[in-house]
């Protein structure tokens, strides 16, 4: 069984470094032994949060990165910049970034750049809609294969894949995804990874659920959905909810 990991994606929140530090401290009080916890925060807050304190099981993550080492890329941040402020994880290919034009090719380059500096990529994949013919499976397969195409197969175990069904998240969500649908997609993603590496590698790669999980359904997604954890948006901005989901993950691994 892969070690559970709970990742918070703060997006463009909170509104001040004071609020960010307060939230980070509150989350830190909820840590549970045996569960990895990551906070992916906006760039301006990372250095301040590092000073509060991180551990092997409580790490900092970034919400994005550029694939070039340096240069004339106004507003962008490099992997070495992230590493210098203690970042250990980084989200790439998030649906919100893809909606702004991030392509599979760009995601692959970011994964390669992160892998070189030993920052763990959190690769987001997922379909915008579900069709009855199953073409959405091809979309997810293409994202998975392309995202991993530039790194050695031996490095697959050092990435995290976050399945985020775009149709089930955000204010325009059609409905909530079910644990059964999550289970189906995690099996499918493992098959995609197995096809380009091997079965052992596929099973050792952590695949988490990036939909709108909550305290109420987290247990079901871990137990029946077979998720190795979560990439949480809204729930990560509430220290109490975030902490409760971490505890649910710890209960799941003790069974």
65 class by beta-carbon count within 10 Å (0-12 exposed, 13-18 middle, 19+ buried) = buried
**Angle, helices 104-116/135-147, rounded to nearest 10 degrees:** 30
> What CA–CA distances, in Å, run from 166 to 129, 130, 161, 212, 219?
7, 10, 15, 10, 21
Enclosing H/E stretch for 190: helix 179-196
Write the CA distances from 170 to 91, 163, 234, 239, 250, integer angstroms: 18, 15, 9, 20, 27
In whole angstroms, give the CA distance from residue 40 to residue 241: 16
Q: What are phi and psi of 32, to 5 degrees?
A: -125, 135
- Quick check: 140 and 126 in contact, CB under 8 A? yes
User: Diameter of the chain by CA atoms?
Assistant: 52
Rounded CA gap, 15 and 9, in Å? 14
Catalytically active residues, by annotation: 94, 164
Q: Which helix (H) or strand (E) holds 17?
A: helix 17-28
41: nearest Cα among 20, 67, 15, 55: 20
Residue environment code for 219-249, b if the CB has 16+ CB neighbours within 10 A, otherwise e: bbbbeebbbbbbbbbbbbbbbebbbbbbbbb
């Amino acid at each position: 069984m892969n070690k559970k990991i709970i990742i918070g994606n703060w997006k463009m929140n909170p509104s001040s470094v004071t609020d960010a530090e307060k939230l980070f401290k509150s989350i830190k009080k909820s840590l549970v032994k045996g569960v990895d916890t990551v906070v992916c925060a906006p760039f301006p807050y990372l250095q301040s949060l590092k000073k509060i304190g991180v551990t092997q099981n409580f790490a900092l993550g970034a919400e994005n990165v550029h694939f070039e080492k340096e240069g004339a890329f106004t507003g962008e941040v490099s992997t070495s910049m992230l590493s210098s402020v203690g970042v250990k994880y980084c989200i790439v290919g998030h649906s919100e970034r893809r909606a702004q034009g991030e392509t599979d090719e760009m995601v692959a380059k970011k994964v390669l750049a992160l892998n070189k500096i030993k920052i763990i990529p959190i690769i987001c994949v997922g379909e915008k809609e579900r069709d009855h013919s199953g073409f959405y499976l091809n979309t997810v397969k293409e994202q998975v294969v392309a995202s991993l195409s530039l790194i050695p197969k031996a490095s697959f175990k050092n990435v995290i894949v976050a399945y985020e069904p775009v149709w089930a998240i955000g204010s325009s969500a059609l409905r909530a995804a079910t644990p059964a649908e999550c289970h189906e997609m995690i099996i499918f993603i493992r098959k995609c990874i197995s096809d380009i590496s091997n079965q052992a590698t596929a099973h050792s790669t952590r695949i988490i659920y990036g939909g709108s999980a909550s305290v109420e359904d987290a247990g079901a997604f871990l137990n029946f959905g077979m998720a190795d954890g979560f990439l949480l948006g809204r729930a990560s901005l509430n220290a109490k909810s975030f902490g409760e989901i971490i505890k649910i993950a710890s209960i799941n691994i003790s069974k």
